[in-house]
Amino acid sequence: MKKDTRHQKGKSASVKGTEIVYQNKDITSKFLAEHLKGKSFQVYGLDLPEIQEVLPTNIPTVQAKELRIDNLFLLADGTVAIVDYESKYQKSDKVKYMNYLIGIANRYLAEKKECPPLRMIVIYTGDIQREKVSRFYQIGAIRLETEVAFLSELDFEGIFSKLQQKVEKGSYLTDEELMEFIILPLSYQENGIDSDGIPKKKQKIREVVEIAARIQDRDQQLFTLAGLLAFTDKLIDSETADKIRSVMEMTQVAMIFEKEKQQAVEEVTKKYEEEKKQTFQEMVERMLRRGYHSEEIASLIPGYSESRVEQLREELGLAGE
């Protein structure tokens, strides 16, 4: 009798698919890890120190369905901030946050390290108003306090217009503007369908991505696209995500070519300088052998002082002549 493996195959494919999703997220996170250093969440209304380091988000003790927290940062004051993004408020999420905190504490314990003070940061999207949320959760001996930001309090249209104008002018963006850029789609509040039958929220995300793709500075463009991909992955559709990855790949290829071109120019310049230096030395040596005075040589050959000419004269054994 043939064993039915359809369910097992489906489960395997699902797990494999999840792994691919997180591999893609890891690739993006590697770029963000370097470029988030020194930036802060203050533009979102959170009074937090600057980001010092982006930490790995996998927590082995957390249930498989939760896999990873959204973001984990070491801040400049030595505290570690777990950052989660929520598009709806549920009291049950507080239990999830406690699991995250316990998971992080256990990870430090397993690594035989002292666990730093932990912060639980929750950034609510434009759909959530402040009055609907409680920062605290207490069940007897356990009390959880979250630090919260409400993107509904950001001026989406104002920020969108400002960033669009700066990109169109080719202006360099500040760190605050970059942080606004990567979170902007999460602050959009209007639901419903536009005249083309596309959800308005999805259309706004696409518009933000299109503007980000036109940023002229390649490092800033990559940072913004990587941030949009990582921070809005709960809202972004696969088509837009693929477009972001495509633009990032093309930009990275262009940066590689640019780097190689710059290296080639530097190599040619270095070779030219070395050859010029060698030619000048040969000229000085010939003039010394022909009896020219040091003062005269120094006035004719760039980069040679009288003392340097005299030193070379001694090295050639011509000092007594």
Q: Using the 3D structure, point to which of 202, 235, 268 is the last residue of a domain.
A: 235
Number of domains in the chain: 3
321 residues of the chain, pLDDT tens digit each:
444 444 444 444 443 443 333 344 444 556 677 778 899 999 898 999 999 988 887 766 544 444 467 788 999 999 999 998 888 899 889 999 999 999 999 999 989 999 999 999 999 988 899 999 999 999 999 999 999 999 999 999 999 999 999 999 999 999 999 999 988 888 888 777 777 777 788 888 888 888 998 998 888 888 888 888 877 766 677 777 777 777 776 655 444 444 555 666 666 677 777 777 888 888 888 888 888 888 888 888 888 888 888 888 888 877 655
| Same domain membership, residue 124 and residue 167 | no
Nearest to 86 by CA among 186, 200, 216, 206: 186
The parent domain of residue 279 ranges over 260-315
Task: Provide the CATH number for the domain around residue 99.
Answer: 3.40.1350
Contact call for residues 143 and 99 (beta carbons, < 8 A): no
What is the DSSP annotation of 241-254? HHHHHHHHHHHHHH
| Same domain membership, residue 226 and residue 142 | no
State the burial class of residue 8 (Cβ atoms within 10 Å of its Cβ: 0-12, 13-18, 19+). exposed
Nearest to 243 by CA among 188, 194, 206, 200: 206
CA–CA gap between residue 245 and residue 231 (Å, rounded): 14
Residue 143 maps to a domain: yes
Residue 75 maps to a domain: yes
47 Cβ contact list (under 8 Å, min separation 6)? none
